[in-house]
Amino acid sequence: MTINLVQRVCLGDLPTRATQQFPHRPAVVDGNAVLTYSELEARSNAAAAGLLDLGLHRGDVVAIMMPNCWEFLVTFFGCAKIGAVCMPVNTGLTAEGVAFQFDDARPAVVVVEESLVALLETALAAFPTTSSVQRVVTARADSPRSELAGIPVMPFAALIDATVPPVEVIVEDRDIAQCLYTSGTTSRPKAVLTSHVAVMMAALSTCVQFRHERGDSCSVFPIVLPLFHVTALNCLTLPVLLTGGTVVLHRSFDPNALLHDLAARQVTHLMLLPVMWGQLVDAAGKGAPGSENVRMAIYAMAPMSQQRLDEIREVFPNADVVLGSGQTEFTPPSVLQWPSHQWDKNASWGTAVITTDVRIMGPNGELLPRGQEGEIVYRGPQAMQGYGNNEAANTAAFTHGWFHSGDVGYLDDEGVLWFTDRIKDIVKSGGENVSSVEVERALLGHPDVADCAVVGMPDDRWGESVTAVVVPVPGRTIADDAIRSFAKEHLAGYKVPKRVVVVDGLPKTSTGKIQKHRVRAQLESRSQS
């Protein structure tokens, strides 16, 4: 079945449709810059035309290296309108990391914001694997340049300066809208390719889940998490723009800036990481003007304590506090913990979203009954199209007709999902499987331990030995023996770390995930030296 321009499911149509309804409403607030829907549409359309002028075709890749700014969203929609693949790059990468992604995804154009030009230049100059790049577009450059590492440069303003008729390209449902790399917790980053239909389904589903309403009671949502991650881009921003609301872009987390938003705008939604919620609640004290308008207080990463939830509810008395879980491969969220489960099932992940089927799978591909532990698997139209250039990973991810999350858990008799472990985080020691998460949780209970990672290291006797890498609370010292004694009090003997290594800090991704493969590498180099 072919489709036509009428029927297409294309993310580039979001600002077009919203502009017909709400041309003068603020769509994107970025500091002093306020883009109405009409302006967002005009600039996105101009960007689409500009990218076509640069010779881009449907399926070509455009890299975005930008912090949260309106140019990011204009580039995203511009790409979508012509069926180009948008590849937002994590701004925390090294030049080598950037070069790896460029080598893998082969972007033809890079749109870069001033603060990341030096990083891009290093990557382009030092790594021949970046040779796919034919043009660099620079946003907010103080002194525009004509070339970067030999590649011609144009200013962003020139990309979008034309007033052009609507760009109309047939985009198929399963054309790739975006390429986002996994954070590489356990292996080298993989390119997650997601289709227009998957992102659109996720956005519509999220409108229902997060209660975004069209019309007069539309949403105002400060976006603090980085747009280069799937959550801020697909799960937070797009549903707001689908329903005529306003996103307020922040470049970093500043509790006072958020308190200012609450007072100055009718903020309806907030989404922060647990540590940010703590700081915001502390900064708010008892009375944050405007906090009564917030109807959804969303967080991610892991369940928060009952006490922290209570503190949030006190500051935001009209908000549902909701925990969202998911992953890049399955356009989030997949599972939400609703207030109704926060009293008795506070440590769970909650229940599946309406467009996702969550099950538990045994080692041979069999779906397990309620209460039994196994791998968490998903089905639903929010699934990625696949990993790029990695057929082995695709086969593994979709085996037995379900998407394999790599997480272990169980569904209780109410269909509530309980996460218990990460599959790759099992230490196989002496014929027993030891959950790294369980050991980590135990060690974090020690008053001197600020952070820790548990990994399995090769061991002649045990196969793998349970190894703990711990970061002390500032000002404290940690003794190997004390930690092991403490662990013995809380864990079965075979789970007690054989070795405890004290370090100043753990390698983490920009979202705060511990990079276990780097922890292992550091331990290896340490034992070799």
Q: Which stretches of the chain bind a copy of itself, using CB under 8 A? A: 1, 3-9, 13, 16-18, 20-21, 23, 168, 172-175, 195, 197-198, 200-201, 204-205, 207-209, 211-216, 242-244, 338, 340, 351-359, 378-381, 383-385, 398, 401-403, 415
Nearest Cα to Cα of residue 334 among 419, 439, 225, 273: 419
CB of residue 40 to a copy of itself, shortest distance in Å: 15
CB of residue 295 to a copy of itself, shortest distance in Å: 12
Per the CB < 8 A criterion, the answer to whether 81 and 169 are in contact is yes
Task: Tell me, rounded to whole angstroms, the distance of Cα 192 from its chain centroid.
Answer: 12
Q: Which is nearer to a copy of itself, 57 or 488 (CB)?
A: 57
Per the CB < 8 A criterion, the answer to whether 99 and 129 are in contact is yes
CB of residue 207 to a copy of itself, shortest distance in Å: 5
Per the CB < 8 A criterion, the answer to whether 111 and 71 are in contact is yes
Work out the angle between the directed axes of helices 70-82 and 13-21 (0-180°, nearest 10). Answer: 110
Q: Which is nearer to a copy of itself, 329 or 421 (CB)?
A: 329
Question: Could you give the count of Cα atoms lying within 13 Å of 8 in the half-sphere of its Cβ?
Answer: 20
CB of residue 526 to a copy of itself, shortest distance in Å: 41
- In terms of DSSP bridges, do strands 26-30 and 246-249 run parallel, antiparallel, or are they unpaired? parallel
Per the CB < 8 A criterion, the answer to whether 228 and 9 are in contact is no
Structure tokens at 252: 């970093």
The residues that bridge with 113 in the sheet, in sequence order, are 139
Q: How many whole angstroms separate alpha carbon 51 and alpha carbon 32?
A: 27
The residues that bridge with 137 in the sheet, in sequence order, are 111, 154
**Four-point Cα dihedral 241, 243, 244, 248, nearest 10:** -50
Task: Tell me, rounded to whole angstroms, the distance of Cα 321 from its chain centroid.
Answer: 19
Q: Which is nearer to a copy of itself, 174 or 526 (CB)?
A: 174
CB of residue 327 to a copy of itself, shortest distance in Å: 13
Work out the angle between the directed axes of helices 255-264 and 274-284 (0-180°, nearest 10). Answer: 60
Q: Which is nearer to a copy of itself, 359 or 498 (CB)?
A: 359
CB count within 10 Å of CB 511 equals: 16
Q: How many whole angstroms separate alpha carbon 215 and alpha carbon 476?
A: 55
Strands ordered across the beta sheet of 191-195: 147-148, 151-155, 135-139, 109-113, 61-65, 85-88, 176-181, 191-195, 386-387
CB of residue 366 to a copy of itself, shortest distance in Å: 11
Per the CB < 8 A criterion, the answer to whether 223 and 249 are in contact is yes
Q: Which is nearer to a copy of itself, 175 or 440 (CB)?
A: 175
- In terms of DSSP bridges, do strands 151-155 and 147-148 run parallel, antiparallel, or are they unpaired? antiparallel
Q: How many whole angstroms separate alpha carbon 450 and alpha carbon 465?
A: 22
CB of residue 209 to a copy of itself, shortest distance in Å: 7
CB of residue 77 to a copy of itself, shortest distance in Å: 15
Amino acid at 439: V
For the chain, the first-to-last Cα distance in angstroms comes to: 62
Q: Which is nearer to a copy of itself, 112 or 242 (CB)?
A: 242
Q: Which is nearer to a copy of itself, 6 or 392 (CB)?
A: 6
Per the CB < 8 A criterion, the answer to whether 451 and 508 are in contact is no
Q: Which is nearer to a copy of itself, 355 or 429 (CB)?
A: 355
CB of residue 242 to a copy of itself, shortest distance in Å: 6
Q: Which is nearer to a copy of itself, 303 or 380 (CB)?
A: 380
Q: Which is nearer to a copy of itself, 112 or 191 (CB)?
A: 191
Q: Which is nearer to a copy of itself, 59 or 317 (CB)?
A: 59
CB of residue 401 to a copy of itself, shortest distance in Å: 4
Helix residue ranges per DSSP H, 54-155? 70-82, 95-105, 117-126
CB of residue 357 to a copy of itself, shortest distance in Å: 5
Q: Which is nearer to a copy of itself, 294 or 384 (CB)?
A: 384
Q: Which is nearer to a copy of itself, 299 or 378 (CB)?
A: 378
CB of residue 1 to a copy of itself, shortest distance in Å: 4
Q: Which is nearer to a copy of itself, 151 or 358 (CB)?
A: 358
* Eight-state DSSP code of residue 231: I
CB of residue 367 to a copy of itself, shortest distance in Å: 9
Decide: residue 414, CB within 10 A, 0-12 exposed, 13-18 middle, 19+ buried.
exposed
For residue 321, what are the contacts with CB-CB under 8 A and spacing of at least 6? Answer: 297, 298, 299, 309, 312, 313, 339, 342
CB of residue 349 to a copy of itself, shortest distance in Å: 14
Quick check: helix, strand or coil at residue 481?
Answer: helix
Q: How many whole angstroms separate alpha carbon 24 and alpha carbon 39?
A: 9
